[in-house]
């Protein structure tokens, strides 16, 4: 093991500096704060690995906090999915919290701010408020309601809360500075009224706190020491601090917001809102469709948790938003599956081979190692018989010297089985080969120790015994978008770049042992790639998703 430590990233440097200056190790506390308005995606994995990773390296608690302040978009289904995904990724939260748990506390604080003359009820239309806001180069102007009396503000705020005031009639705003250079400091809205059912508080609340008012105060309530968010929140930091300035009890820890870069993945979109459109418009079947960049879609596709964690760790945290090529995620996946996935045989584009000198009606059960590089993975028995399938593309009547597969008059080894020689073939009226007649060398069985079994032949093919093979449905996937960054085009909607051919369904034939594989388990179909059992599998029919192709195959194929 290399004992040398990796250099600290800038987030760790911030923490180390705080540990020197102001914080003790016991002060450290983090949180991952998703809004339950959709399923988690690969971008969230970066934030999850960052926060929970810090928790592990500093032995500090990490809360899972649902930022559930918008009843219009949030649902229990999403809460459940988020918990499942974080757990599957291998992390454990200290406490499960909800911003909605703090509605009363936030409300009480808001009342305090009103009493101190630091917040007021504005009853203008949203257009009027927008006009008064000014621009980055032009100061804003004060609302005519800015100087309402404390009593009037308290009465109106109470009416907003009880639902007595009509939806949208008023908002509560912080009284800060309409001429601030930071637009977010120009009397930001703290509460709006919404007469909608909330997934947790039902109809108890008719006012809902805005993000800026909720987030920092939730961090404060939970005594989160470091609140990491993505770069777009950098200008919000001033407001985050302003709110804390008004409430912070010096005896308590004061949370700190720091920002890191958003991670985007090529050939897809990582935004819950956009992913929701793909589901709603029927481009994909569900949030966990194997083509989706959601954690649940990747899991269903056959991704392992380790491969996603390694990917997130590998790209690390950055200070600038960037696009990560999807091949990097696939690389991380192959690296993990190569170590962990069992090898089995399946034929996806079959042609029949008859071994003319093999006894009729006989079946031999041959040993097949689950992983040639890992003896502890054990082995499986595969049936061999007179009629087998091989891939169509593994046979040619004639080919040059570099074609190390089956051709007339030449030999190949059948993986785990015998050396066969192609003698003749049968063709249909189109000239397509429908059957290949071969002979086999009975002494050449793999692992039998005979001289013939050690004989080197150039090519090795995978195969399945026809009478024993399991017919399976195989779903092959291509990229969901034809463009590397579909949502960055100024005058085009990302939906215009949807790849119409992202799914192909075929029938394949697999060795019978695959019947025992569990849903989400990924195996390697030798020479073809990695494939995972889909949850659509029934007692009658197994369904496999192609997870990812192999970079290399073990036979010296091609020309």
Q: Per CB under 6 A, which of residues 208..247 are in contact with ligand ATP?
A: 229-230
Binding of ligand ATP by 262 (CB under 6 A)? yes
For tokens 């508080």, name the residue. Answer: 201
Is 546 designated active site? no
- Distance of alpha carbon 391 from the chain centroid: 33
Asked if residue 258 lies in contact with residue 230, where contact means CB atoms within 8 angstroms, the answer is: no
Between 68 and 342, name the residue whose CB sits nearer to Mg ion.
68
Euclidean distance between CA atoms 195 and 207, whole angstroms: 8
State in angstroms the smallest separation of the CB of 139 from ligand ATP: 30
Binding of ligand ATP by 33 (CB under 6 A)? yes
Catalytic residue among 206, 272, 517, 527: 272
Largest Cα–Cα separation, the chain: 101
Euclidean distance between CA atoms 321 and 281, whole angstroms: 28
The option from ligand ATP, Mg ion, none interacting with 462 (CB < 5 to 8 A, set by class) reads: none
Angle between helices 42-58 and 10-21 (to 10 degrees): 30
3-state DSSP of 240-274: HHHHHHHHCCCCCCCCEEEEECCEEECCCCCCHHH
For the sheet with 207-209, list strands across it.
119-122, 171-174, 189-193, 207-209
Asked if residue 284 lies in contact with residue 30, where contact means CB atoms within 8 angstroms, the answer is: no
Residue 189 main-chain phi, psi, to 5 deg: -70, 130
Spell out the residues 6+ positions from residue 299 whose beta carbon is closer than 8 angstroms to its own.
85, 88, 288, 305, 520
Query: 153: which 2 tokens?
Result: 């503000």
Binding of ligand ATP by 271 (CB under 6 A)? yes
Q: Which stretch binds Mg ion (CB under 5 A): 35-43, 334-342, 355-363, 498-506?
A: 35-43
Is 272 designated active site? yes
Binding of ligand ATP by 410 (CB under 6 A)? no
Per-residue DSSP letters for 408-462? BT-EEEETTS-EEEEEEEEE-TTS-EEEEEEEE-TT--TTS--HHHH---S-EE-
Between 53 and 140, name the residue whose CB sits nearer to ligand ATP.
53
Query: 314: which 2 tokens?
Result: 């590998």
State in angstroms the smallest separation of the CB of 236 from Mg ion: 13
Binding of ligand ATP by 263 (CB under 6 A)? yes
Q: Which stretch binds Mg ion (CB under 5 A): 32-40, 176-184, 356-364, 549-557?
A: 32-40
Which residue from 12, 18, 35, 369 is in contact with ligand ATP, where contact means CB under 6 A? 35
Between 100 and 522, name the residue whose CB sits nearer to ligand ATP.
100
State in angstroms the smallest separation of the CB of 270 from ligand ATP: 5
**What element of type H or E holds 553?**
none
Count Cβ atoms below 10 Å from residue 475 Cβ, excluding itself: 19
Between 37 and 482, name the residue whose CB sits nearer to Mg ion.
37
State in angstroms the smallest separation of the CB of 17 from ligand ATP: 22
The option from Mg ion, ligand ATP, none interacting with 43 (CB < 5 to 8 A, set by class) reads: ligand ATP
Between 236 and 407, name the residue whose CB sits nearer to ligand ATP.
236
Residue 292 main-chain phi, psi, to 5 deg: -80, 145
Between 229 and 305, name the residue whose CB sits nearer to ligand ATP.
229
State in angstroms the smallest separation of the CB of 329 from ligand ATP: 13
Q: Which stretch binds ligand ATP (CB under 6 A): 30-38, 145-153, 288-296, 330-338?
A: 30-38
Between 67 and 187, name the residue whose CB sits nearer to ligand ATP.
67
Is 262 designated active site? yes
Residue 243 half-sphere exposure, CB side, CA atoms within 13 Å? 30
Binding of ligand ATP by 34 (CB under 6 A)? yes
CA distances from 410 to 329, 390, 422, 462, 543 (A): 40, 16, 6, 17, 36
Binding of ligand ATP by 270 (CB under 6 A)? yes
For tokens 């958003």, name the residue. Answer: 262
Which residue from 15, 29, 30, 47 is in contact with ligand ATP, where contact means CB under 6 A? 47
State in angstroms the smallest separation of the CB of 31 from ligand ATP: 9
State in angstroms the smallest separation of the CB of 35 from Mg ion: 5
The option from ligand ATP, Mg ion, none interacting with 368 (CB < 5 to 8 A, set by class) reads: none
Binding of ligand ATP by 44 (CB under 6 A)? yes
Query: 95: which 2 tokens?
Result: 């406490």
State in angstroms the smallest separation of the CB of 66 from Mg ion: 12
CA distances from 178 to 163, 174, 437 (A): 29, 11, 86
Q: To 5 degrees, how large is the angle CA 50–CA 53–CA 55?
A: 110
Q: Which stretch binds ligand ATP (CB under 6 A): 180-188, 271-279, 434-442, 451-459?
A: 271-279
The option from ligand ATP, Mg ion, none interacting with 270 (CB < 5 to 8 A, set by class) reads: ligand ATP
Which residue of the chain is nearest ligand ATP when measured via CB?
43
Euclidean distance between CA atoms 344 and 521, whole angstroms: 13
Binding of ligand ATP by 46 (CB under 6 A)? yes
Catalytic residue among 192, 262, 301, 407: 262
Binding of ligand ATP by 299 (CB under 6 A)? no
Number of residues in contact with ligand ATP under rule CB under 6 A: 16
Euclidean distance between CA atoms 499 and 417, whole angstroms: 41
Q: Which stretch binds ligand ATP (CB under 6 A): 99-107, 263-271, 373-381, 501-509?
A: 263-271
3-state DSSP of 474-517: EEEECCCECCCCHHHCCCCCHHHHECCCCEEEEEEEECHHHHHC
Q: Which stretch binds ligand ATP (CB under 6 A): 140-148, 267-275, 406-414, 474-482?
A: 267-275
Q: Catalytic positions, please? A: 35, 262, 272
Contact residues for ligand ATP (CB under 6 A)? 33-35, 43-44, 46-47, 67, 229-230, 262-263, 270-273
Q: Where along the sequence are the contacts to Mg ion (CB under 5 A)?
A: 35
């Amino acid at each position: 093991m290399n004992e040398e430590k990796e250099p600290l990233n800038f987030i760790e440097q911030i923490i180390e500096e705080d540990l020197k200056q102001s914080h003790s190790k016991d002060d450290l506390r983090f949180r991952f704060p998703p809004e339950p308005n959709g399923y988690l995606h690969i971008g969230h994995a970066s934030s999850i690995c960052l926060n929970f990773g810090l928790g592990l390296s500093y032995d500090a608690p990490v809360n899972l906090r649902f930022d559930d302040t918008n009843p219009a978009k949030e649902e229990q289904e999403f809460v459940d999915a988020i918990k499942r995904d974080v757990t599957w990724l291998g992390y454990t939260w200290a406490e499960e919290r909800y911003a909605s748990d703090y509605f009363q506390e936030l409300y009480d604080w808001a009342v305090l701010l009103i009493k101190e003359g630091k917040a007021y009820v504005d009853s203008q239309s949203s257009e009027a408020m927008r006009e008064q806001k000014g621009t980055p180069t032009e100061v804003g102007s004060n609302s005519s309601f800015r100087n309402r009396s404390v009593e009037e503000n308290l009465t109106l705020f109470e009416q907003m809360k009880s639902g007595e005031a009509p939806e949208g009639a008023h908002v509560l705003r912080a009284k800060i500075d309409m001429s601030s250079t930071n637009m977010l400091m120009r009397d930001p809205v703290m509460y709006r009224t919404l007469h909608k059912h909330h997934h947790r508080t039902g109809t108890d609340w008719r006012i809902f706190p805005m993000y800026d008012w909720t987030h920092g105060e939730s961090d404060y309530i939970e005594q989160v020491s470091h609140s990491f968010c993505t770069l777009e929140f950098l200008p919000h930091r001033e407001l985050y601090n302003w709110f804390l300035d008004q409430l912070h009890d010096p005896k308590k820890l004061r949370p700190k917001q720091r920002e890191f870069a958003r991670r985007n993945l090529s050939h897809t979109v990582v935004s819950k809102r956009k992913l929701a459109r793909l589901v709603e418009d029927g481009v994909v079947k569900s949030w966990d469709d194997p083509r989706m960049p959601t954690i649940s879609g990747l899991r269903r596709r056959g991704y392992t948790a380790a491969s996603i964690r390694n990917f997130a760790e590998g790209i690390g945290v950055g200070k600038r938003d960037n696009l990560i090529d999807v091949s990097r995620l696939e690389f991380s996946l192959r690296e993990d599956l190569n170590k962990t996935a069992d090898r089995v045989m399946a034929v996806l584009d079959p042609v029949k081979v008859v071994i003319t000198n093999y006894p009729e009606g006989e079946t031999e059960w041959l040993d097949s190692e689950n992983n040639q590089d890992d003896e502890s993975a054990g082995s499986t028995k595969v049936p061999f018989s007179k009629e087998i399938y091989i891939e169509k593309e593994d046979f040619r009547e004639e080919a040059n010297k570099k074609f190390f597969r089956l051709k007339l008059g030449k030999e190949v080894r059948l993986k785990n089985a015998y050396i066969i020689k192609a003698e003749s073939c049968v063709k249909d009226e189109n000239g397509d080969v429908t059957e290949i007649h071969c002979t086999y060398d009975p002494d050449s069985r793999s692992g039998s120790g005979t001289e013939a079994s050690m004989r080197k032949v150039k090519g090795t093919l995978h195969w399945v015994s026809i009478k024993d093979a399991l017919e399976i449905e195989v779903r092959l996937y291509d990229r969901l978008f034809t463009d590397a960054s579909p949502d960055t085009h100024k005058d085009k909607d990302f939906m215009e770049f949807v790849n119409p051919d992202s799914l192909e369904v075929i029938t394949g034939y697999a060795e019978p042992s695959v019947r025992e594989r569990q849903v989400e388990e990924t195996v390697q179909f030798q020479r073809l790639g990695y494939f995972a059992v889909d949850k659509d599998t029934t007692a009658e029919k197994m369904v496999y998703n192609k997870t990812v192709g192999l970079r290399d195959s073990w036979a010296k194929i091609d020309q």
